[in-house]
């Protein structure tokens, strides 16, 4: 059965991140994509120039209407923007019994624009993380969630991953892309075991939407894998190949997108 996967996220008009990137990822990995718009942005590969939140009641209406008709096999959560939206989405997830939830705690864009209001961080920590099957923070996001000093080493990552697990998610995927080195190492923590996933660090400026793409890939693959770690491994392999093929695209003059359809389109 082809899984139906939902993204609740913001819209990036350039298509490299957010809801549009999630839908591309779902499609590339054989899942039927659905989407609920939680925020609108004015954005391109150079940066974000504006954010417009969708009314909270309408986000809830989108969710309730979708769940009333469509079987949803997994949910990916991206940019929410405000504490009111976080609380409303958390209530909807509980209301509809969502268990296969992948959370990408989007806080800052690649260009440095803050996408999550400070008062929403506490709401995300308290209301969303305990519902999550998997969370996928990068190192700056982990630092904000834990209110800890900068994470600078692999040893710091191991400590932070276990601390993040204590906030409630069943599995933590702590991404190490911000560290230096020839490899990009992620630390996976399920509360008992820590696993490290390694991939070569690809020298490219085309990294717009990498976090969105990884979390969307995990959500798309979770319904097809009995073992969540297998889905996480496959998602990381997909993202690494999408980054490697990003030079085939010519989108914008800043941080370009990854190539979501690298395995389907001919150069």
**Total tally of structural domains belonging to the chain:** 1
Residue 180 lies in a domain: yes
Burial (CB count <10 Å: 0-12, 13-18, 19+), residue 7: buried
Q: Residue 210 catalytic?
A: yes
Q: Based on the residue annotation, tell me whether 205 is a catalytic residue of this protein.
A: no
Is there a contact between 130 and 167 (Cβ–Cβ < 8 Å)? Answer: yes
Active site residue 148: no
Structure tokens at 215: 């979390």
Determine the Cα–Cα distance for residues 47 and 4; give it in Å rounded to an integer: 31
The pair of three-digit structure tokens given for residue 133, joined into one six-digit string: 């099957």
209 occurs within a structural domain? yes
Structural element, H or E, at residue 39: strand 32-44
Instruction: Give yes or no: 212 in active site.
Output: yes
- Its sign, for the CA torsion 135, 154, 196, 31, is positive
Domain that holds residue 236: 4-248
Q: Which of 25, 45, 207, 240 is catalytic?
A: 207
Compute the distance between CA of residue 95 and CA of residue 195 in angstroms, rounded to an integer: 33
**Domain-located, residue 187:** yes
Residue 113 lies in a domain: yes
Q: Which position among 81, 209, 213, 240 bears the catalytic label?
A: 209
Look at residue 81 and tell me if it is in a domain. Answer: yes
Residue 209 bears catalytic tag: yes
- Say if 56 falls within a structural domain: yes
* 191 inside domain: yes
In the residue annotation, 181 being an active-site residue is answered as no
Catalytic residue among 18, 176, 211, 256: 211
Establish if 171 belongs to a structural domain.
yes
The enclosing domain of 38 has a CATH number of 3.40.1190.20
* pLDDT in 10s for each residue of the chain, 267 residues: 999 999 999 999 999 999 999 999 999 999 999 999 999 999 999 998 998 989 999 999 999 999 999 999 999 999 998 999 999 999 999 999 999 999 999 876 555 556 677 788 999 999 999 999 999 999 999 998 999 998 999 999 999 999 999 999 999 999 987 787 778 899 999 999 999 999 888 889 999 999 999 999 999 999 999 999 999 999 999 999 999 999 999 999 999 999 999 999 987
């Amino acid at each position: 059965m082809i899984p139906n996967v939902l993204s609740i996220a913001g819209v990036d008009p350039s298509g490299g991140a957010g809801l549009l990137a999630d839908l591309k990822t779902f499609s590339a990995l054989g899942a039927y994509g659905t989407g609920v718009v939680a925020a609108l942005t004015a954005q391109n590969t150079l940066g974000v120039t504006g954010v417009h939140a969708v009314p909270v009641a309408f986000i809830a209406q989108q969710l309730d209407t979708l769940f009333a008709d469509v079987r949803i096999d997994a949910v990916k959560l991206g940019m929410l923007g405000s504490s009111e939206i976080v609380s409303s989405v958390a209530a909807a997830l509980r209301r509809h019994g969502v268990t296969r939830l992948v959370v990408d705690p989007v806080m800052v864009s690649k260009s440095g624009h803050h996408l999550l209001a400070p008062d929403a961080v506490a709401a995300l920590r308290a209301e969303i993380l305990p519902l999550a099957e998997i969370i996928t923070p990068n190192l700056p996001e982990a630092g904000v969630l834990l209110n800890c000093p900068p994470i600078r080493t692999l040893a710091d990552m191991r400590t932070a991953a276990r601390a993040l697990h204590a906030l409630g998610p069943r599995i933590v995927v702590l991404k190490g892309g911000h560290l230096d080195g020839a490899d990009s190492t992620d630390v996976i923590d399920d509360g008992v075991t820590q696993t490290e996933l390694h991939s070569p660090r690809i020298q490219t400026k085309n990294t717009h939407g990498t976090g969105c793409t990884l979390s969307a890939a995990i959500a798309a693959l979770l319904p097809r894998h009995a073992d969540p770690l297998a889905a996480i491994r496959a998602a990381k392999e997909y993202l690494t190949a999408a980054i490697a093929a990003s030079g085939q695209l010519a989108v914008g003059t800043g941080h370009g997108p990854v190539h979501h359809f690298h395995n389907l389109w001919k150069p």
